[in-house]
Structures are given as structure tokens and as C-alpha cells.
Amino acid sequence: MSGTAVTGGNSRLLSETLAAAGAEDRAALIAYLPAGFPTVDGGIEAIKAVLDGGADVVEVGLPHSDPVLDGPVIQTADDIALRGGVRIADVMRTVREAFEASGKPILVMTYWNPIDRYGVERFTAELAEAGGAGCILPDLPVQESALWREHADKHGLATVFVVAPSSQDARLAQITEAGSGFVYAASLMGVTGTRESVGTQAQNLVERTRATGSGLPVCVGLGVSDAAQAAEVAGFADGVIVGSAFVKRMLDAPDEAAGLEAVRALAGDLARGVRRKV
């Protein structure tokens, strides 16, 4: 969809995309890849390949030197990107080019410190201008998020908070009331990484989150690595989030071209998985 006009934040596009997947009686496929990995240009091409392969939404990671939520695979990719000199300007360029090429919702996933240092107004304005749909903020406490949400709302950006199996019901209600776009449900305690089994905690967390009555879609991440797991999660969640499996395909590839083909193929496999719910 080259040449797509960029007029501001695309939170509405995100909501419409998730609703359209629901109308097709399937979960949305949400992919994660960090900006600047393996290079800025290579990262953009990888995201385009994942979108071309069948992802409905992409989360662009803003590499961080101390990624407390991320497991060793994503930490390795972040380290490669940081050593390559990736900057927030490169993240914005990645969002812009991915959106212009696909017309699909592109979010940024980032820890709070880089935004705080960069400036909330500057960050939200630039993300909206790049056509971004919103931001996932895993370490921003909802009770400290008013400034962010004020600027995000002004620029048409969704604010996605993360909930975990340890989140109490009152906390879930507070988060779903403040959030927008969707709720990111971390299916397991601990850091990101592929798992052999999704487990039952995820389904319980989705049910508890939906019980708050917010109506926000609930998308599950942390652990899905193949079509069978994607189908399992799609049976109870509105979206299936996959990150480490894509990053690992890029890390394991002998060269960039092979990596791009690998992530495109994985996206296609996962896209078929979310369409055959179990």
C-alpha cells in the first residue's frame, strides 16, 4: 500500500483491524520485531516480510539496554541493534516505512525511560506523524500514566498496558479502564521467550480481563512459536502476539535474505494457525 497518506495516529485503524479479525471468527496475528535488527534497513525489510506473510499488526520494539521483560533471544537482538547505533529516529522511520508499505497498524513497544528522556509530547507527535497506531508500555504503572495518555489521546494513539496472571481483579479493572486499543495479556510469569506449552494461565487471565467489562480486545503474548500454539491461543484470545520466534528465525538465518524468507514463512504459518482455532 505504498503512498498511504500519513495524517496522524492510527488508533482507529488498530481497533478496526482487531474488529475485522473478530468478524471473521478468528484471532488477529500480532508480530513483534525490534527496530534496527539486524540493521535499520534490514529491520524494516523484516517487518515488511512479516506483514506480507500475513501478520495483521506489528509491534516495533524500541531496543533498550536493560529490557527487564525480554528473554535472551530478544535481548540478543536488542544488543545487535544498539551496537549498530539505532536511535529513536530510526524507530520512527521503521514505523513510517512499515505503515506506508502495508497500510496495517504499527505500534511501538517500549520501556518508559526512553520516552521520558526524549519527551512525551515530542515522542507522541513524531509517532503519530509517522502513522503509528499506538504504544505498548510494559513498565509504565497505570496510576502514573496520565501525562502519557493525555498526549497519546491528543495525537490519536492507543495506549496498550500489559497485564499478568499475578494481576488482581481490581488492578485489571483499573488497567482496562485506562487503556485503549487492546490489552496485552502476558500468558506466563517471567520474561519473553518461546515455550513448549502455552498453559492454562493465559485463558484464565483473558477471562478475568474480559470480566472487567471494558470491551477491549485481549491479546496474548509471551510464548507462542508455532501454528499449533497460535491455534490454541486463538481459541480464547482476540489476538496472538509472537515475538521471540520471529527474532530467532532472523538470528538463526545464514544471511539476511534467508532471514527475511524465514520470517515471511513463519508469519504465513501462524496466520493459518489463528484461522484454525482449537
Catalytic residues: 59, 70
Mean pLDDT over 198-213 rounds to 88
pLDDT band at 201; cut points 50, 70, 90:
confident
Average of per-residue pLDDT values in the chain: 91
| HEC assignment per residue over the chain | CCCCCCCCCCHHHHHHHHHHHHHCCCCEEEEEEECCCCCHHHHHHHHHHHHHHCCCEEEEECCCCCCCCCCHHHHHHHHHHHHCCCCHHHHHHHHHHHHHHHCCCEEEECCHHHHHHHCHHHHHHHHHHCCCCEEECCCCCHHHCHHHHHHHHHCCCEEECEECCCCCHHHHHHHHHHCCCCEEEECCCCCCCCCCCCCCHHHHHHHHHHCCCCCCCEEEECCCCCHHHHHHHHCCCCEEEECHHHHHHHHHCCCHHHHHHHHHHHHHHHHHHCCCCC
Summarised one tens digit per residue, pLDDT across range 73-101 is 999 999 999 999 999 999 999 999 999 99
Burial class (CB in 10 A: 0-12, 13-18, 19+), 131: buried
pLDDT band at 199; cut points 50, 70, 90:
low
Mean pLDDT over 6-25 rounds to 89
Summarised one tens digit per residue, pLDDT across range 44-79 is 999 999 999 999 999 999 998 776 666 789 999 999
Q: Are 30 and 271 in contact (CB under 8 A)?
A: no
pLDDT of residue 187: 74
State whether the Cα torsion 260-265-270-275 is positive or negative.
positive
pTM value?
0.93
Mean pLDDT over 198-221 rounds to 90
In whole angstroms, what separates CA 156 from the centre of its chain? 17
pLDDT band at 192; cut points 50, 70, 90:
very low
Q: Are 270 and 227 in contact (CB under 8 A)?
A: yes
